[in-house]
Chain A
């Protein structure tokens, strides 16, 4: 029990870092997802193709693999390229390693963006076809109709699935422990390594995740209800 209490400050700070990385990743993921989701519905084939490739790759491969590619794989390639350039032009090497935080943001944002793309696509497609027809019949372009008529309605419908995505990502950030990113789970691991109290510490970690998830799902419910009444 004392171990649990004494490690709480460290774990709670870890929880804050977990929340932080999740919020940043899902936020960037929303921007990526909006672009990719709309591209998948675009009349332009090239856009549709590119967006489909993106979504398929990041939904079709494990987040863990994506994380190690970004953290270990990409920097290695960059260093190789740098070596060639150093040999050829003789400038001093600048790139050494990617910061775990940056790698975490890149991997989680790209992953989240792929899932959110599907959420936005489904949200837009759930709006009645007559809305687009009515908007177009008034002379609006496809883009204007999306922006002023379809998306404002779709945004309300994607709040619950976006909340789910946030919760899923919150839990998945524990995978970032493999690159030594000190979020909640990684901090638990480190404490267990020093104290050998695996049961108590990991159970505490689990409870902290659980509390965060419950609070967030309540918040999403509240948002959903408020948006409904504002109609």
Chain B
């Protein structure tokens, strides 16, 4: 579903990604872990070109994103993204947040889009919040609406950029639960997170990034119980 080869990203002199190679199979849940500043989020944003890579190749669902002829807006419709800080549109209700892109980008009728939105709100457990504005919702609720908003485009892949890092601890669970459901339904997911419990339980594969490279990857079992790389061992000893 996703194939990344030799991905480089530089900000001026700072080299954030230094030759990342990976692939993600359909329906696979890949969890990316690593210390802050290791390039995880930049890597994720390169997968939908919110960040323009300096060099390398990113192929999503058979489309080469680095090809100048590629319509990136088209690709982004197939790749949902959930942000650390939710980024809901504050001037729109939860329902309108979800229906906006399907109506304006996919060209759905309002009726169709709202039907989808109500189903998604039910799925994330917020049916009663359809007409609430983002600032009337808790962080966890906002993030669940943000997930529903991304799902409304019926993406083939979902990217999660530290989706629980900005949440109060008691709200982390509700968001992770939604993500688990999604994984169970067979959604292809790439998740950057510090939630090791989630990585262990839901991840098909875990990738450990450090200093702009993927230094070790494997099943959660391998990564957490039998780490090989020294830096990974140090990282795990600090957080577990």
Contacts and interface: CB of A to CB of B under 8 A. Distances in A.
Interface of A: 128, 130-131, 133-141, 144, 148-149, 152-153, 156, 231
Nearest to A139: B77
Interface in B75-112: 76-77, 79-81, 83, 85, 87-91, 100-101, 104-105
Contact of A133 (B73, B79, B87): B87
Contacts of A156: 91
Given A130-B83, A130-B85, A144-B104, A137 B50 contact: yes
B153 interface: yes
Interface of B: 48, 50, 73-74, 76-77, 79-81, 83, 85, 87-91, 100-101, 104-105, 133, 135, 146, 149-150, 153
Given A138-B76, A139-B153, 4 more contacts: A134-B88, A138-B105, A140-B101, A144-B104
Given A130-B83, A231-B133, A138 B50 contact: no
Contacts, number: 64
Given A134-B83, A139-B74, A139-B77, A231 B105 contact: no
A162 B133 CA distance: 27
Given A134-B83, A139-B73, A140-B73, A152 B91 contact: yes
16 contacts: A130-B83, A130-B87, A133-B83, A134-B87, A134-B146, A136-B50, A136-B73, A137-B48, A139-B77, A139-B101, A140-B101, A149-B89, A152-B91, A153-B89, A231-B90, A231-B135
Contacts of B149: 138
A141 B77 CA distance: 11
A131 B73 contact: no
A139 B83 contact: no
B87 A139 contact: no
Nearest to A129: B87
Question: Which 5 A-B pairs have CB atoms at the shortest separation, nearest pair first?
Answer: A139-B77, A134-B87, A138-B101, A130-B87, A137-B81
Nearest to B106: A139
Contacts of A140: 73, 101, 104-105
Contact of A144 (B50, B85, B91, B105): B105
B72 to A, nearest CB: 9
